[in-house]
Amino acid sequence: MNTTTYSTATPKLGAWVWLLCWTSALVYLPTLLTERALFGMALSNTQLLNLGLTQINLMLISMLGALSLNYLTGCAGLISIGHAAFFATGAMAAAVFDTQLGWPFPCVLLACAVAGALVGTLAGLPSLRVRGLYFVLSTLAVHYVVTYVFLEYQFKFFDVVGIPYATPRIGDIEINTPVRWYAFLLPLVILVYLGLKASLQSREGLAMRAMRDHELAATSVGVDVRILRLKAFGLSSAIASVAGALFAYYLSNITSEAFNINFAIQFIAMIIIGGMGSLPGSLVGAAIWLLLPSIIAGLSPQSSEDAGFMGKLLVEHRAQLVQLIFSVMVIVFLIFAPSGVAGLGRSLKNRLDAWRQGL
């Protein structure tokens, strides 16, 4: 199969400069957020948009989830509204292998990935028989089944308080501070991103996108759609499962309520805002979804003093206001920019290129 369309050109000088800028920015970010100063110049909470490293870390974990869902839904065309189930699987596997059996952390993560892949392949089985809407509903049913198992498991071995998780350690290093978490999560996200990108450019990735765009056409050129579906499901849920385990570790205690249907819905919202089928888009979507609430929360202390209508709203109904803003944002994106931030970026770039050529 001809892959020239997707082959990467040799990076130019500009690309290297960009890479350098991004790397230094990402390395400097934890220092900026812990010392709350930019090159020795102190910044107020407002100037930092009320952000801390904790939000950044949770954002990185969500990025894993958004990437895996976008791989499945945007690239393979399989809609899952039960993605929280795989997060729950990961959290459950981590509880079994770490809290109960005491395996070392890297082995636990590996076991979580395997468990996630298994559950994901099982959850993908209905895709062999049903299509479209019916399949969406089967993922919803899977979600209810898995969260019920999680609930039963939690109450059998732990109690209503939730499942506790030990501080993860790799070798002698305990991952116990936000900075260490950042140092662990950032390379992981980059790794997963590059891995998924490579997988999309491989022969199977192309076959997968062909399957998404036209299933019958893909079948007729010899793509085994059924196996490919299960593979996509397995890979996506393995990643989601690891993300779920990390989420549980990061919070150090988790109950079955954490993985409700809204948890799954937020990932769909992320990839809609970011851009369906675009891996960088998933990162942007996750960033917007996780950082915006604390930015909105950061607005409230100033506005409560003049206590206007908006100020009162911010103080009394902050949670609802965040929900409202997000849902309206999703609706606006769906109606006016169906390809998300990634699509907006593309059209902007096209316009820029056209303008440059006009010069």
Interface with other proteins by CB under 8 A: which residues?
73, 79, 81, 126, 129-130, 132-134, 136-138, 140-142, 144-145, 148, 151, 216, 262, 265, 268-269, 272, 276, 313, 317, 320-321, 323-324, 326-328, 330-331, 334-335, 338
What is the rounded radius of gyration, in angstroms, for the C-alpha atoms of the chain? 22
- b/e code 153-182 from CB counts within 10 Å (16+ = b): bbeeebeeebbebeebeeeeeebeebebbb
> Least CB distance from residue 239 to other proteins, whole Å?
19
Provide CB contacts within 8 A for 333, sequence distance 6+. 272, 273, 340
Provide CB contacts within 8 A for 31, sequence distance 6+. none
> Least CB distance from residue 328 to other proteins, whole Å?
6
Cβ-based burial of 121 (10 A; exposed 0-12, middle 13-18, buried ≥19): middle
Provide CB contacts within 8 A for 338, sequence distance 6+. 276
The closest of 38, 36, 113, 26 to 68, measured between CA atoms, is 113
Nearer to other proteins (CB atom), residue 317 or residue 351: 317
> Least CB distance from residue 57 to other proteins, whole Å?
25
Nearer to other proteins (CB atom), residue 52 or residue 311: 311
Amino acid at residue number 350: N
The closest of 299, 309, 176, 186 to 249, measured between CA atoms, is 176
Nearer to other proteins (CB atom), residue 167 or residue 347: 347
Nearer to other proteins (CB atom), residue 81 or residue 88: 81
Nearer to other proteins (CB atom), residue 191 or residue 334: 334
* Cα–Cα distance measured from residue 292 to residue 40, given in angstroms and rounded to the nearest whole number: 26
308: alpha, beta or left? (left if phi > 0; alpha if psi -120 to 50)? beta
Nearer to other proteins (CB atom), residue 29 or residue 149: 149
> Least CB distance from residue 173 to other proteins, whole Å?
41
* Cα–Cα distance measured from residue 131 to residue 141, given in angstroms and rounded to the nearest whole number: 15
Nearer to other proteins (CB atom), residue 173 or residue 334: 334
